[in-house]
Chain A
Amino acid sequence: MANRYTSKLSWADVTPEHMFLNRRSFMAGTAAFAAGTIASPALSATSEYSTDAEPNTWEEITSYNNFYEFGTGKSDPAEYASALTTSPWAVEIGGMVDKPGSYSFEDIMSQMTIEERIYRFRCVEAWSMVIPWNGFELADLLNLAGVQSEAKYVAFETVLRPEEMWGQKRNFIPWPYREGLRLDEAMHPLTIMATGIYGKDIPNQNGAPLRLVVPWKYGFKSIKSIVKITLTDTQPEASWNMIQPREYGFYSNVNPNVDHPRWSQASERQIGGGLLAKRVPTQMFNGYEEEVAGLYENMDLKANF
């Protein structure tokens, strides 16, 4: 069941009219997405959480990326990600589920409801964007596979394909990239699998054909180009946490009060303002405190950073 969460930002806030019209004509021509078209209901979505943040442009969102599989420079992914084959694509869902197996991307999409979600996106490097994602709730996909009662965590893996992702030929990260969530985080209605941006198919550099988006956590938690999802009862490995446990915790919730040895997390620079891109105070849980604070009640967020 989708539409549990509605953003307070609407398409009208984000998209210039000409692009907006293009998007609709694009969608009209995309029969495969017919069941879950992002068109009508979302257009009238009223926003529960207003923000004065300006949404970023397609250009900004798709040419400033961290996707080390394609190199460590911010413009590397846009330059090299076209080498990745995203069709055919399948996600192996396993572990503590009733129906383990390989789920093809088309099969998943035919059963999911695609919605628009305009989220703030906060990188651990202290920059941020506002991104109009299209996608479905992760909970819906997990329910499709049937989560068993003993499952406590969800583990994710990015595709391992060094011949298409040259960064994977270098060992600065133990490939494949992996991430994990607690089950209640994964089932939260804010947590989505994104398959589009601005109503277009998500570009490879942003994690095609499907990637996680957890808007209250630092961006590296939102793992891209996922091929494996495993339900487990032990806390999964997470790549950055494996490399530098002192810097990147398992939870990695956006928290201006927890210091990072490399970047102050108290404020962030909003990408898109040019030379004088504004620095603004970072909000607790990236502004999603009302929705997610309950997940961490009685938890020491400094110890569980």
Chain B
Amino acid sequence: MSHALTTAERINAALRPIPKWLIYVLGALPGVYIIVGVILALNGTYDLFGSSLGIDPAKTIEHWLGELALQFFIATMVIRVLRDLFKLKLIKFRRALGHLTFFYIVLHLTVYLWLDLQWGWSQIWSDILKRPYITIGMAAFVLLIPVMATSNDSAIRKYGPKVWQNIHKLTYPALLLGGLHYVMLQRIWDVESLIYLGVICLLLILRGRALLPKFR
């Protein structure tokens, strides 16, 4: 008689048949909903959002997208920790979650540049240089560009696993900067954003030394 299945093994078995594309579809839904809603609203065709947008819709959407980006980012990064601590095998979903994170960051940035700053480039540059929370948010985005560019199988073959892993360790400083960006944009010590930062710090602590780049 084989041994009784552990909880982790049972969860792993249940997750095995879930296809990756389902993660993409479900994960993209909120973003697609927002994009469609914005297009319909700008056309004046239909009000998808109702009163949920509030009095300053551009800011509301900017914040929705920023929070979604941070949530997907944390979900992506927690997968490795769940394997280390609980032997949960979610790695096959990680790339999808990572791509979705980048999708929401790009949408968040687009709304900031378009609806918020309205392509006022002189102010965009001064914001990036002089407003620390924006500097930090931008830095996080820049760090993720090489990660996104190599987030595919052919890049692993091209660079080899060691170099590839080092590139992808950029996600950790980017995650920390993302959490700081959220905390710093608040005018006071805001509980919700501090919880996000707390979770991020915990993740970094759990990964610990493994995060240092390997050169040999």
Contacts and interface: CB of A to CB of B under 8 A. Distances in A.
Interface of A: 59-60, 63-64, 68, 72, 74-75, 125, 127, 172-173, 243-244, 259, 261-264, 266-267, 269, 271-272, 274-279
Given A72-B188, A172-B188, A269 B56 contact: yes
Contacts of B58: 269, 275-277
Interface in B50-85: 54-58, 61
Given A72-B190, A261-B130, A262-B133, A64 B56 contact: yes
Contacts of B130: 259, 261, 264
Given A68-B188, A74-B54, 20 more contacts: A64-B54, A74-B56, A127-B56, A172-B188, A172-B190, A259-B126, A262-B131, A262-B133, A262-B185, A262-B187, A264-B126, A271-B55, A271-B56, A272-B55, A274-B41, A275-B42, A275-B57, A275-B61, A279-B117, A279-B120
Contacts of A277: 56-58
A125 B186 CA distance: 11
A56 to B, nearest CB: 9
- The 8 tightest CB contacts between A and B, nearest first, are A64-B55, A172-B188, A275-B57, A279-B118, A60-B55, A264-B123, A275-B41, A275-B58
Interface in B171-195: 185-190
A63 B41 CA distance: 21
Given A259-B130, A261-B131, A269-B58, A275 B123 contact: no
For chain B, the bracket of interface size reads 20 to 34
B123 A266 contact: yes
B57 A173 contact: no
Contacts of B116: 269
Contacts of A278: 118
Dominant secondary structure of chain A at its interface with chain B: loop
B115 interface: yes
21 contacts: A60-B55, A63-B54, A63-B55, A64-B54, A74-B55, A75-B55, A125-B187, A172-B188, A173-B188, A263-B131, A264-B126, A264-B130, A266-B123, A269-B58, A269-B116, A271-B55, A274-B41, A274-B57, A275-B41, A275-B57, A277-B58
| Chain B CB within 10 Å, residue with most, of A63, A173, A243, A269 | A269
Interface of B: 38, 41-42, 54-58, 61, 115-118, 120, 123, 126-127, 130-133, 185-190
A173 B116 CA distance: 28
B202 to A, nearest CB: 23
A125 B188 CA distance: 13
Contacts of A261: 130-132
Contacts of A275: 38, 41-42, 57-58, 61, 115
A259 B117 CA distance: 16
Nearest to A62: B55
A172 B133 contact: no
Contacts of A75: 54-55
B120 A267 contact: yes
Contacts of A125: 187
B57 to A, nearest CB: 5
